[in-house]
Copies of this chain bind each other. A is one copy, B any other.
Amino acid sequence: VGSSVVIDDILDSLRRRGLRMTPQRRAIVTEILELHGHISAGEVAERVQKRIPGVNASTVYRTLALLEDVGVLSHAHFERGVEYHRSEDASHVHLVCAHCGAHDSLTTAEIKPLERLVRKHHGFLPDLTHFAISGTCRNCQTRAGG
Q: Which positions in A face B, CB cutoff 8 Å? A: 77, 79, 95, 97-98, 104, 106, 110, 113-114, 117-118, 121-128, 130-138, 141
Contact = CB atoms under 8 A, between A and B. Distances in A.
A130 B98 CA distance: 10
Question: Nearest 7 pairs between A and B by C-beta?
Answer: A123-B138, A131-B131, A130-B134, A126-B135, A125-B136, A127-B135, A127-B134
A98 B124 CA distance: 11
Contacts of A79: 77
A36 B141 CA distance: 31
Given A97-B124, A106-B121, A106-B122, 19 more contacts: A77-B77, A95-B124, A95-B126, A98-B130, A104-B124, A110-B121, A113-B117, A114-B114, A124-B136, A124-B137, A125-B136, A126-B133, A126-B135, A127-B133, A127-B134, A127-B136, A130-B133, A130-B134, A131-B131
A137 B114 contact: no
